[in-house]
Structures are given as structure tokens and as C-alpha cells.
């Protein structure tokens, strides 16, 4: 399995104007998480970046204000809470370092991280390509909303570079993909996608939520912008909403300026919680990677399971691509019960450790039937066209002991 190296670029300024600490690239992933993007000189000598709970920031005098207006850097000095916050900047520096980007922008939700760049980077008459297994709310925004602004879209099969290339038009401005995807965990060849897009001047935007920066580094493979639903693995405790966009300093500066107009800011107390969650990301992802692979192998051999989707399995259609660009395969396993929809519901209801809830990536194991949770409003025909059967289950593993999770699955399968 190829190990993806976390590329470190010039660190962004810290929350108090000092350069954020860039750890030795030879350090292991867990150590890098603890030290990447972290200032060595926090205010009041605090070990942890403090919560700066302020909507406005003062100036010593008129000359101080004029100097800021003429020469000020929004990354090191704030004026108003909608334009920035020191606690938020500390987290953005850490996120950028983890993903190997020059800068990051933290927003109020994962959907805000998706919609802001699309609204900013696309203009009337532009065309974009979106993967067919991308998060369904992303596809709703692309297909049902962006057309109001004269933007057209083509849906291409996930992971099929030939189909993506064939969908390119003279006015194609952006390619949006998710890898691994939700719920079938399809994987896009990121280096191959960049080779198609870059010579044509087409921007690439990758939702890497399911992978995390530990399992996959899209920027190092030539992708322009990476987004995460921070709500999931990065925050890791199912207790807040946030999103992030990571890329070059120039790209993020442009997005940051528009972000102040859209107002999708995050509260500094939530930014503090995200920073705390990031400190245990390595431990959590290591456990979830191990549990994901073990659970997928168990399910694939069980007689009451029809099919399993997990990129760590040789049976997954994108296993080769996943091995090339991922250092771990994540904690989400999707599978079909060998029965019908009611049997799948009985299985879900019989689980003792997994809770029915629509998120993933946190410390708790969560389970859903996508046909009921995410696609309930769709007709059976529409769900079938998307490959969403009534028997489909998505299991998002937490940090419980792997053996206990498998035992819970086994006893629930005995009851259908």
C-alpha cells in the first residue's frame, strides 16, 4: 500500500501574528497532527489557543486604524468578527498544515464549504462536471440550484476518467468530485483527474471528507482545492457543524473575501472544539481504519450479506486506485442485506452498539438505511436509478473495540 506523505508548505501566520510551527516532515502522522500549524507563542503563554469571544476588535488610535487599512493583514489582525477571529485562524493554520495546503478557510458547515466556492468560481455561461456518487445534497445544489444563475452541469460516473474527459466542454470551468464517495465509497484517480483538468485550465474541487488528511492528500496529487465536512472526522464527536476549504494562499484569500460577504462564519467556541478534536484525529482514524477493514472482511464472508462496498477490499471496483492514493480506507462500510427492505430494517433495529443517525466520522458508531434516511423523499424508481436499494446499509464506525462491533453485527444478522 502506498503511504501518502503529508506535504508541508509555508505555514500560515498564527493567531497572534507569529509563524505557525512547522514540524519535522520525518515525524509520524500522530505527532504531526499534534504539532502541525500550531504556534509556539500563544497569548498569555497558553498551551491551548484560547477562545477569543469578541465580535469587534479595537484600535489604539486613529493612526493605528489607518495603518491597518493601508497595510493590515487580515490573517494576523482582525477588525470585525465576520472578517476573522484569532481562535478560528489558529484552527485554519492547523487544517492547512495537515492537508499540505498554504491556507484554509473555516466555515459554518460542510455545505457552506461546498456552495461558497461554486458560487464564487462559477459565472453565468460556465459549465461544471460533478461525480454521480457525490453527496446527494451537493448534487441537489449543482443540478437544481445553480441553473438559476446560468450555470450548467453534467453528471459523470464516479471514478471513470474517460467519461469525465468526454463530458468536458469549451466552457467547462470546474470538476467537482468526492473520493471516497457516499455511500458506495467509489474512488477517483486524483492524479489522473489533475492531468485531465490542469492543461485545460479547469479547476478541480475534491470533497475528501471520508478520507481525512491522514488517509489521502489530494493537493499533493495535483488537485486545486480540497473541502471537508469538519462535522465528521475532523471534529470527531458529533457535537458541532463546520466545513473547511484548503488550497493555495491566493485561492483561499479570494474565497475569504467573499466569505465575509456571505457571512457563513463559525463561532470561536466551536473553532476551539474543532482544535481539540484534531488533537485526537490520528488515534481515532487509526482505530476506524482498522475496524473498517475488519468489519468489511467479516461482512463479505457472511451468508446473509449480498454485497459489501469498502475500498480496502479487493472486490471493490476502485481497490487498485484506493491502494495507490490512500494510506488507510476509513471507517465507513456500505453493504446490502441478502433479503429485502424490511429485513434490512430488522437488522438495523437489532443492533445494540450502533445508533440510527445520519452522520459519520465521530466516536460513536452510527447506522442508516439510505433509502429511508437520505432518499426517503425520492420515488422507488428514482432511488433505483441512483443504485439506492431498500436493502442498502451504511455503517459509520466509531472507536468502540473492533471485536465488540463485529459481535454486535453478528447477533443482529442472526435476527433477520
Mean pLDDT of all residues in 378-388: 88
Question: Is residue 149 annotated as a catalytic residue, yes or no?
Answer: no
Would residue 82 show up in a list of annotated catalytic residues for this protein? yes
Q: What DSSP character marks residue 134? A: S
Query: How many angstroms separate the CA atoms of 320 and 311, rounded?
Result: 9
pLDDT at 24: 65
| Fold topology of 7-103+266-279 | 3.40.640
**Domains of the chain: which residue ranges?**
7-103+266-279, 110-230, 282-413
Pick 282-413's CATH classification: 3.30.420.40, 3.90.1150.10, 3.40.50.720, 3.40.50.300.
3.90.1150.10
Segments in 59-102 forming alpha helices (H): 62-71, 86-99
Position 415 pLDDT exceeds 90: yes
Model confidence, pTM: 0.90
Residue 382: pLDDT band (50, 70, 90) is confident
Quote the CA–CA distance of 23 and 401 in Å, as a whole number. 31
Q: What is the DSSP string of 222-287?
A: T-SEEEEETTTTTT-SSS---EEEEE-HHHHHHHHHHHHHHT----HHHHHHHHHHHTTHHHHHHH
232 belongs to the catalytic site: yes
- Do 7-103+266-279 and 110-230 show the same overall fold? yes
Q: Out of 77, 89, 133, 135, pick the active-site residue.
A: 135
Catalytic residue list contains 310: no
> CB atoms < 10 A from the CB of 342, how many?
12
The CATH number corresponding to 110-230 among 3.30.70.890, 3.40.640.10, 3.40.50.2300, 3.10.640.10 equals 3.40.640.10
- Confidence at residue 37, expressed as pLDDT on a 0 to 100 scale: 67
Summary mean pLDDT of the chain = 90
DSSP 21: B
Name, in order, each residue with C-beta under 8 angstroms of 264's C-beta and a sequence gap of 6 or more. Answer: 107, 108, 109, 112, 116
Mean pLDDT across 133-151: 92
Contact 116, 259 (CB under 8 A): yes
Q: What is the pLDDT of residues 345-355, one digit of tens each?
A: 999 999 999 99
- Active-site residue (options: 132, 133, 207, 224): 207
Helix (H) or strand (E) holding 203: strand 203-207
Choosing from 9, 82, 195, 346, the catalytic residue is: 82
- Residue 176: pLDDT band (50, 70, 90) is very high
- Give dist(CA 60, CA 34) in Å, integer: 35
Q: What is the pLDDT of residues 150-165, one digit of tens each?
A: 999 999 997 899 999 9
CB neighbour list of residue 214: distance below 8 Å, 6 or more residues apart: 29, 33, 98, 281, 282, 285, 327, 328
Question: What is the model's pLDDT at position 243?
Answer: 98
Query: Exactly one of 94, 173, 186, 232 is catalytic; which is it?
Result: 232
Phi, psi of 265 (to 5 degrees): -85, 160
Sequence-ordered list of residues with C-beta below 8 angstroms from that of 94, at least 6 positions apart, any chain: 20, 36, 37, 38, 275, 278
1-44 pLDDT per residue, tens = 333 333 334 344 443 443 444 556 677 777 777 777 677 777 77
The per-residue pLDDT for range 93-110, each reduced to its tens digit, is 999 999 999 999 999 999
Amino acid at each position: 500500500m502506498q503511504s501518502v506523505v503529508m506535504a508541508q508548505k509555508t505555514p500560515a501566520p498564527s493567531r497572534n501574528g507569529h509563524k505557525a510551527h512547522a514540524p519535522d516532515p520525518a515525524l509520524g502522522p500522530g505527532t504531526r497532527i499534534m504539532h502541525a500549524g500550531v504556534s509556539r507563542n500563544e497569548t498569555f503563554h497558553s498551551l491551548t489557543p484560547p477562545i477569543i469571544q469578541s465580535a469587534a476588535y479595537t484600535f489604539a488610535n486613529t493612526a493605528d486604524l489607518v495603518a491597518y487599512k493601508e497595510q493590515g493583514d487580515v490573517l494576523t489582525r482582525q477588525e470585525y468578527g465576520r472578517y476573522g477571529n484569532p481562535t478560528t485562524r489558529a484552527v485554519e493554520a492547523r487544517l492547512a498544515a495537515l492537508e499540505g495546503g498554504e491556507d484554509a478557510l473555516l466555515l459554518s458547515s460542510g455545505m457552506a464549504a461546498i456552495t461558497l466556492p461554486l458560487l464564487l468560481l462559477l459565472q453565468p455561461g460556465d459549465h461544471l462536471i460533478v461525480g454521480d456518487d457525490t453527496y446527494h445534497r451537493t448534487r441537489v445544489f449543482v443540478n437544481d440550484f445553480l441553473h438559476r444563475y446560468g450555470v450548467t452541469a453534467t453528471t459523470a460516473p464516479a471514478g471513470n476518467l474517460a467519461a469525465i474527459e468526454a463530458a468536458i466542454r469549451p466552457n467547462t470551468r470546474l470538476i467537482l468530485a468526492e473520493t471516497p464517495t457516499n455511500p458506495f465509497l467509489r474512488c477517483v484517480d486524483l492524479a489522473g483527474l489533475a492531468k485531465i483538468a490542469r492543461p485545460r485550465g479547469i479547476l478541480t474541487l475534491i470533497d475528501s471528507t471520508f478520507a481525512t488528511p491522514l488517509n489521502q492528500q489530494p493537493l499533493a496529487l495535483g488537485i486545486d482545492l480540497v473541502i471537508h465536512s469538519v462535522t465528521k472526522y475532523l471534529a470527531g464527536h458529533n457535537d458541532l457543524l463546520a466545513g473547511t476549504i484548503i488550497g493555495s494562499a491566493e485561492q483561499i484569500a479570494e474565497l475569504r473575501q467573499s466569505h465575509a460577504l456571505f457571512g457563513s462564519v463559525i463561532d470561536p467556541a466551536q473553532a476551539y472544539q474543532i482544535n481539540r478534536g484534531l488533537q485526537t484525529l490520528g488515534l481515532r482514524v487509526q482505530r476506524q481504519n482498522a475496524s473498517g477493514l475488519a468489519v468489511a472482511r467479516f461482512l463479505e464472508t457472511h451468508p446473509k450479506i449480498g454485497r459489501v462496498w469498502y475500498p480496502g477490499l479487493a472486490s471493490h471496483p476502485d481497490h487498485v486506485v484506493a491502494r495507490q492514493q490512500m494510506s488507510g480506507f476509513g471507517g465507513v462500510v456500505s453493504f446490502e442485506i441478502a433479503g429485502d427492505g424490511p429485513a434490512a430494517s430488522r437488522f438495523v433495529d437489532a443492533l445494540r452498539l450502533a445508533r440510527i443517525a445520519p452522520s459519520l466520522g465521530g466516536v460513536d458508531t452510527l447506522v442508516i438505511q439510505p433509502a429511508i434516511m437520505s432518499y426517503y423523499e425520492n420515488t422507488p424508481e428514482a432511488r433505483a436509478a441512483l443504485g439506492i436499494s431498500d436493502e442498502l446499509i451504511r455503517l459509520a464506525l466509531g472507536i468502540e473495540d473492533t471485536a465488540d462491533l463485529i459481535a454486535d453485527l453478528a447477533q443482529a444478522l442472526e435476527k433477520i
